[in-house]
């Protein structure tokens, strides 16, 4: 980066193909961008997954924000000889994809959001957002407990995903999905939990930009029964914006594992 930090990345597909910068969920790493990146070659794409500070190989940055991460993306893409690109974020990576669209409109051809989080003003029912609003120190302590327990038993945390009620359990029970989550979580915590804690705090506080101000062509794919980011909040957040919202009826948060190829084909026609 411009300030000398290192950022980890991985890529799939053809290095000469159309570039897609993918932003992983949280906690996550370069090892799993969207859950469908292995199809990049078949789709005629170059998918590059960048690790946010504190995850995997990326050095921690205590004072970062969503918008300064967009500056990191600008530095990283230049270092990789990428001029114009598509950007897509899944789950907790989605606010960062939108931040890139807000900060780097001249370089981004289109932005995509998969199972994304609504901005905090539209997520009033989110318990963690409520806790941050009441007591930031208590919220940070809760985040530390949560990620410390996850890091202490990665396998148990991935198995637990398959036991939750809702439409995602069948997907999360798949051996390949379990293996990929376990691998990316182990790498996410390579340096400890600081990156994950800060990531969670940032996406549940004001983002520093408004969705209505995003001028880049942006598409948002969401499951109607998403248990992490309720569709009602997403509809409200995107209602007065240029964002094109596309809903998978009867599906949940794991839509990238089921529909990833068609989503990428729609994002990069």
Query: Is residue 224 scored above 80 in pLDDT?
Result: yes
Indicate whether 263 pLDDT > 80.
yes
* Segment 104-131 mean pLDDT: 94
Closest by CA to 67, choosing from 187, 226, 213, 179, is: 213
Q: How confident is the model at residue 205 (pLDDT cuts 50, 70, 90)?
A: very high
DSSP state at residue 214? -
pLDDT for the residue numbered 237 = 97
Stated length of the chain: 269
Query: With bands split at pLDDT 50, 70 and 90, how would you rate the model's confidence at 77?
Result: very high
Mean pLDDT of 24-39: 95
Backbone angles phi, psi at 8, to 5 degrees: -80, 150
Beta carbons within 10 angstroms of residue 2's beta carbon: 9
Among 5, 7, 11, which Cα is nearest to 31's? Answer: 11
Instruction: Supply angle C-alpha 37, 38, 44, rounded to 5.
Output: 80
As a whole number, the mean pLDDT across the chain is: 96
Domains of the chain: 9-267 (3.40.50.1820)
> What is the model's pLDDT at position 126?
87
DSSP letters of 88-105? EEEGGGHHHHHHHHHH-T
């Amino acid at each position: 980066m411009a300030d000398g930090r290192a950022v980890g990345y991985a890529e799939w597909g053809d290095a000469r193909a159309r570039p897609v910068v993918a932003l992983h969920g949280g906690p996550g790493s370069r090892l799993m961008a969207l859950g469908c990146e292995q199809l990049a070659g078949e789709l005629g794409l170059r998918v590059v997954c960048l690790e946010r500070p504190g995850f995997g190989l990326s050095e921690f940055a205590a004072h970062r924000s969503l918008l300064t991460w967009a500056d990191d993306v600008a530095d990283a893409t230049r270092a990789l000889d990428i001029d114009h690109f598509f950007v897509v974020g899944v789950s907790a990576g989605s606010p960062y994809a939108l931040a890139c669209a807000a900060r780097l409109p001249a370089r981004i051809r289109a932005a995509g959001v998969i199972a994304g989080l609504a901005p905090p003003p539209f997520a009033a029912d989110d318990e963690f957002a409520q806790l941050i609003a009441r007591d930031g120190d208590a919220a940070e302590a809760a985040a530390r407990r949560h990620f410390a327990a996850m890091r202490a038993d990665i396998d148990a945390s991935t198995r637990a995903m398959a036991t939750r009620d809702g439409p995602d359990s069948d997907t999360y029970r798949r051996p390949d999905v379990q293996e990929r989550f376990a691998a990316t979580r182990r790498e996410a915590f390579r340096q400890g939990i600081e990156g994950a804690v800060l990531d969670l705090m940032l996406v549940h506080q004001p983002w520093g930009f408004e969705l209505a101000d995003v001028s880049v062509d942006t598409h948002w794919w969401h499951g109607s029964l998403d248990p992490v980011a309720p569709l009602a909040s997403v509809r409200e957040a995107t209602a007065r914006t240029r964002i094109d919202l596309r809903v998978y009826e009867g599906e949940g948060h794991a839509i990238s594992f089921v529909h990833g190829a068609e989503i990428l084909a729609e994002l990069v026609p």
